[in-house]
Structure 1
Amino acid sequence: MIFGIAALVTALFLVVGVVRDRRRLGNAVWLGVTLVFVVLWLAFRASVRGGWSAAVFGYAVVVVLLGLGFVLPVALIANGVLMLRREGFRLANLLSLLAGLAIFGVVAAFGFATARTGPAVDAVIGSLLIVAAYVAFLFVSLLLYSIVYGSIGRRTGFDAVVVLGAGLIGDRVPPLLASRLDRGLHLYRREVAAGRTPLLVVSGGQGSDEAVSEAVAMRDYLLRRDVPDEAIVLEDRARTTAQNLEYSARLLTDRGWTGRAVAVTNNFHVFRAAVLARRLRLRMQIIGAPTAWYFLPSAFLREFAALLAQNPVVHTVTCGLLVGLHLLLTLTP
């Protein structure tokens, strides 16, 4: 009963957080905590009922553990190899491969801990498992809430559509950026069909390996698709997502714009961009564009690492407290 009540309470906090501002990072944590309490409630119910309920829950746990301990890391390693072949050798393209190897390492550490006992071994291995569990909890919470965030919210009624830039190949728009532009163009045409005259802001500066700024290449892409030049606003200085959002909002303000804006990026990038928009105090929601399936694992891992880096002290202190409590319980006679 207590786990069910706890799940209802945390779900209430989640709903309140989403209603207040669905861009809140804490919403992802409340979602994760709610799911943990739901699983504990199901486990408790299965243990009380016994019989087939306990058996089904036990089999489900075994399947999940096998999936997390073997299927998932194998899939991540395979995806990492595919990323290296298609996207080249870069650290960002190694993330899924490294994550798969890390999961195998955690599984091996758990196996070592069960084979050898002793206070010192239990303390070290237990600490590693606690940190791994904390990171896994945050990753699953953020991944699930990113999907929720991208699935809810307004889809029409925008006075401005901001398309966030991504890297060019020379002066050419690659598929990743083209998907953002196509989604922004779809939103723009829908507003035009409804009788509105929205602005299309293309945001992105020029990198050292790019022949033109991203904004210029994006404008040319839209002009070739019959978007009027007067409907396009160039923001050609931004080098980061935060600058994309801030500089674009400033351009709109300078033009006297006071309406409702939406920013378009790829689906894996949606929630982090939304968190940044909230931190910048911008009245702007984010909509995602499709991404090639093989690109998603590494992309989500990169976004997860970036979100963790925004609050390093909080995560370090939390892990330290959890590990400290474990060491206290393990090493105290």
Structure 2
Amino acid sequence: MIFGIAALVPALFFVVGVLRDRRRLANAVWLGVTLVFLLLWLVFGAAASDGWPAAAVAIGLVAVLLGLGLVLPVALIANGVLLVRREGFRPANLLSLLAGLAIFGVVLAFGFATAHTGPVVDVVIGSLLIVAAYVAFLFVSLLLYSIAYGSVGRRTGFDAIVVLGAGLIGDRVPPLLASRLDRAIHVYRREVDAGRAPLLVVSGGQGSDEAVSEAAAMREYLLRRDVPDDRIVPEDRATTTEENLRYSAKLLVDRGWNGRAVAVTNNFHVFRAAVLARRLKLRMQIIGAPTARYFLPSAFLREFVALLAQNPVTHTVTCGALVALHVALTLG
């Protein structure tokens, strides 16, 4: 019962945070803490009872441990190999493969600790498990909240649609960027049917391996799909998501626009783009387009790393404090 009561506190912070601004990173953390307390309430409540609830919890925990320790890393490694074969050998495409290997490393370390006990081993392996648990908690929290964020919110009533750029293949729009443009066209046509004609801002500069700017390629893609040229506004300087948002917002303001805007990206990128929009103090909603399933694990991992990198001091201090407490309790 105590864990159920304790869950009410982070749940309250979560609800207040969402009502204030859905784009807050803290919302994901409060959601994760709430779910942890609820899980503890369920586990300890079932374990304290007799009969099938306790057996069901025991079976469930074994299944989860096997899934996390064996099935998940194998799936991540297989996904990493598939991604490298389809998308090329690049650092960003290695994340799921490396994550799978890292999970296997944690499992092996835990097995080593159970066979070789001692103060030094307990400190080292315990510290490793604490860091792994902290990272896993943040990842699951952000993943769940990202999915929830992308599933709710306004879907109509926009006066401007901003399409965030992605890499080209020469001068050609690849499937990832095409999915964003197709979602933007869908939103545009829905607004036209409702009696509005929103601006479509296509944002993206030209990379060193691209024949034209992303904005130019996106504009041609929209024109071929019967979007009027006078509704398309190219923004061809941005090279990052932050610049996509900032330059597009400034371009709209310079044109005298003051309505409601939405930015379109892929579903895995929605929450980080929303966090950036909040940091830039932009009143802009973010919506996502579908992404190929094989691409999602690595993409979500990349977004997670980028979100962690926004607050390195906070995460370092938190992990350091948890490890220090563990060391003090183990050696004290």
- Does TM, scored on the shorter chain, surpass 0.5? yes
| In structure 1, C-alpha distance between the alignment counterparts of 2:220 and 2:84, rounded to whole Å | 30
Shift of 1:48: 2.0
The total of aligned residue pairs comes to 332
Shift of 1:5: 1.0
Residues 115-165 of structure 1 show CA distances to partners (whole Å, capped at 9, x for unaligned) of 111111100000000000000000000001000000010000000000000
| In structure 2, C-alpha distance between the alignment counterparts of 1:8 and 1:44, rounded to whole Å | 17
Q: 1:265 and 2:262 equivalent?
A: no
Shift of 1:50: 2.6
Q: Give the equivalent residue in structure 1 for 2:317.
A: 317
Residues 266-320 of structure 1 show CA distances to partners (whole Å, capped at 9, x for unaligned) of 0000000000000000000100000000000000000000000000000000000
| In structure 1, C-alpha distance between the alignment counterparts of 2:29 and 2:59, rounded to whole Å | 27
Q: 1:330 and 2:316 equivalent?
A: no
Q: 1:70 and 2:62 equivalent?
A: no
Q: Secondary structure at the match of 1:49?
A: coil
Q: Secondary structure at the match of 1:287?
A: strand
1:30-49 to structure 2, matched below 5 A, reads 30-49=30-49
Matched letter for residue 107 of structure 2? V
Q: Secondary structure at the match of 1:14?
A: helix
Q: Secondary structure at the match of 2:161?
A: strand
Shift of 1:70: 0.2
| In structure 1, C-alpha distance between the alignment counterparts of 2:48 and 2:83, rounded to whole Å | 47
Q: Secondary structure at the match of 2:257?
A: coil
How many percent identity over aligned positions?
83
TM-score normalised by length of structure 1 = 0.99
Q: Give the equivalent residue in structure 2 for 1:15.
A: 15
- State which drifts further: 291-300 or 1-10: 1-10
| In structure 1, C-alpha distance between the alignment counterparts of 2:44 and 2:67, rounded to whole Å | 23
Residues 235-274 of structure 1 show CA distances to partners (whole Å, capped at 9, x for unaligned) of 0000000000000000000011111100000000000000
| In structure 2, C-alpha distance between the alignment counterparts of 1:226 and 1:217, rounded to whole Å | 15
Residues 66-106 of structure 1 show CA distances to partners (whole Å, capped at 9, x for unaligned) of 00000000000000000111011111111100000000000
| In structure 2, C-alpha distance between the alignment counterparts of 1:116 and 1:46, rounded to whole Å | 33
Shift of 1:47: 2.1
| In structure 2, C-alpha distance between the alignment counterparts of 1:77 and 1:275, rounded to whole Å | 29
- Structure 1 unaligned spans of 5+: none
1:166-185 to structure 2, matched below 5 A, reads 166-185=166-185
1:87-106 to structure 2, matched below 5 A, reads 87-106=87-106
Q: Secondary structure at the match of 1:303?
A: helix
Q: Give the equivalent residue in structure 2 for 1:57.
A: 57
Q: Give the equivalent residue in structure 2 for 1:25.
A: 25
Q: Give the equivalent residue in structure 1 for 2:288.
A: 288
| In structure 2, C-alpha distance between the alignment counterparts of 1:50 and 1:152, rounded to whole Å | 40
Matched letter for residue 317 of structure 2? V
- Stretches (4+) displaced over 2 A: none
Shift of 1:8: 2.0
| In structure 1, C-alpha distance between the alignment counterparts of 2:197 and 2:181, rounded to whole Å | 18
Aligned residues: CA RMSD = 0.6
| In structure 1, C-alpha distance between the alignment counterparts of 2:168 and 2:121, rounded to whole Å | 50
| In structure 1, C-alpha distance between the alignment counterparts of 2:88 and 2:218, rounded to whole Å | 24
Shift of 1:51: 1.8
Q: Give the equivalent residue in structure 1 for 2:142.
A: 142
1:161-200 to structure 2, matched below 5 A, reads 161-200=161-200
Residues 178-214 of structure 1 show CA distances to partners (whole Å, capped at 9, x for unaligned) of 0000000100000000001110000000000111100
| In structure 2, C-alpha distance between the alignment counterparts of 1:48 and 1:86, rounded to whole Å | 50
| In structure 2, C-alpha distance between the alignment counterparts of 1:72 and 1:300, rounded to whole Å | 15
Q: Give the equivalent residue in structure 1 for 2:220.
A: 220
Q: Give the equivalent residue in structure 2 for 1:121.
A: 121
Shift of 1:10: 1.3
| In structure 1, C-alpha distance between the alignment counterparts of 2:215 and 2:221, rounded to whole Å | 10
Q: 1:157 and 2:157 equivalent?
A: yes
Shift of 1:19: 1.1
Q: Give the equivalent residue in structure 2 for 1:231.
A: 231
Shift of 1:15: 1.2
Q: Secondary structure at the match of 1:226?
A: coil
Matched letter for residue 105 of structure 2? G
- State which drifts further: 2-11 or 25-34: 2-11
| In structure 1, C-alpha distance between the alignment counterparts of 2:179 and 2:84, rounded to whole Å | 22
- State which drifts further: 2-11 or 238-247: 2-11
TM-score normalised by length of structure 2 = 0.99
Shift of 1:7: 1.3
Q: Give the equivalent residue in structure 1 for 2:304.
A: 304
Shift of 1:37: 0.3
| In structure 1, C-alpha distance between the alignment counterparts of 2:66 and 2:175, rounded to whole Å | 36
Shift of 1:43: 1.3
